[in-house]
Amino acid sequence: MAVALGAAGLLALVLGFAPTLNPIDLVLGRGRSVVLGDFVGSSLPGVRAELESSGLVVETRNGFSLTVPRGSVLAQDPLPGSRVAPGATVSLVVSRGAVRVVLDDLVGQSLTQARAPLDEAGVTVEVVERPDEVVPAGVVLEQEPGPGLEVQGDSVARLVVSGGPAPRPVPDVSGRSLPVAAYALGAFGFDVVEVRGTSATDLPPGAVVGTDPPAGTTSERGTPVVVVVSGDAPPAPVPGVVGEPAGPAAEAVRAAGFEANVVTANELELALAAQAASEPGTPVRPPSPGTVVLQSPAAGTERRPTSVVTLVVAP
């Protein structure tokens, strides 16, 4: 009886220390588990040493915090109190501290450039798109906070970004003269690319019958528009006036039965005109001020009378 009681007591003792009901696991060290402590706020080196000494694998990544000091644990996975087996991985988020960024003047930068330092600092970026007739799409128009002000890692920065020109309806220019119609369409941001005649109308000769796209059609800025005018006169060749002074050139265009639209050349147009006018292998010379450097349609192109000929003039 004494021997039996002793054996039973020994068995209970072994099972009490064994992590499983198999006493062999106790002898071989199998099935042991580790209960994780709460490491948030503790320094990373000490936490790493404790976990690795328990046979666990430590995985770290960085995060920003206004409360947890730099180099201390910000979060852990699994959570405190979890029981894990040796060899398991414990993920730790380590604080990089409270990041503060002094904002530059972001207006005029692309959205990608403007938000790069904010994303790096963990600042939430609120992007608002607004149509703009001048600033290209994707460029910052406004910022909040303004230049020179400081934002922290938990702050919100607001960037107003250009969405480019907004679509707009084609204006109704029917019944007007061609010059007035062309001016109105240009003011709305459309390009008059062709003028067609028609005899199927009761309007007087030269009056605008309609447009293609039709009036009221919502279109992007720069959409090419065809203007239909009353009358069916045969097309005539456009005179060539490149290189002539703007005044005489416009008079020559009007004398040929066309409407002259005189505009000032931009830098790209000036460069293209200078290159086209120069002989290969010779220095490129800028065009003379006040002379026509480009025209559209090109010389010799057949257009109906009263069609618009655009003359690009060097400033």
pLDDT over 90, % of the chain: 52
Q: Where along the chain do its domains lie?
A: 33-98, 100-162, 168-313
Mean pLDDT confidence for 113-141: 89
Tell me: pLDDT of 305 over 80: no
Q: What is the pLDDT of residues 78-98, one digit of tens each?
A: 999 999 999 999 999 998 776
- Determine phi and psi for 223, rounding to 5 degrees: -60, 130
Rounded to whole angstroms, the Cα distance separating 255 from 259 reads: 9
Give the residue with greater pLDDT, 159 vs 279: 159
Q: What is the pLDDT of residues 38-87, one digit of tens each?
A: 999 999 999 999 999 999 999 999 877 767 888 899 899 999 999 999 99
Closest CA to 82 of 47, 120, 39: 39
Q: What is the pLDDT of residues 144-168, one digit of tens each?
A: 999 988 887 667 899 999 999 999 9
CATH code assigned to 168-313: 3.30.10.20
Q: What is the pLDDT of residues 217-238, one digit of tens each?
A: 999 998 999 999 887 667 789 9
Rounded to whole angstroms, the Cα distance separating 227 from 12 reads: 102
Q: What DSSP designation does 52 have?
A: H
- Cβ atoms of residues 83 and 56 within 8 Å: no
Pairing relationship of beta strands 156-162 and 124-130 according to DSSP bridges: parallel
**Residue 57 pLDDT:** 95
**Residue 9 pLDDT:** 52
The CATH T-level fold of domain 100-162 is Trypsin Inhibitor V; Chain A (3.30.10)
Tell me: pLDDT of 15 over 50: no
Q: 168-313: same fold as 33-98?
A: yes
Reduced to 3 states, what is the DSSP secondary structure of residue 3? Answer: helix
| CATH class for the domain made up of 33-98 | alpha beta
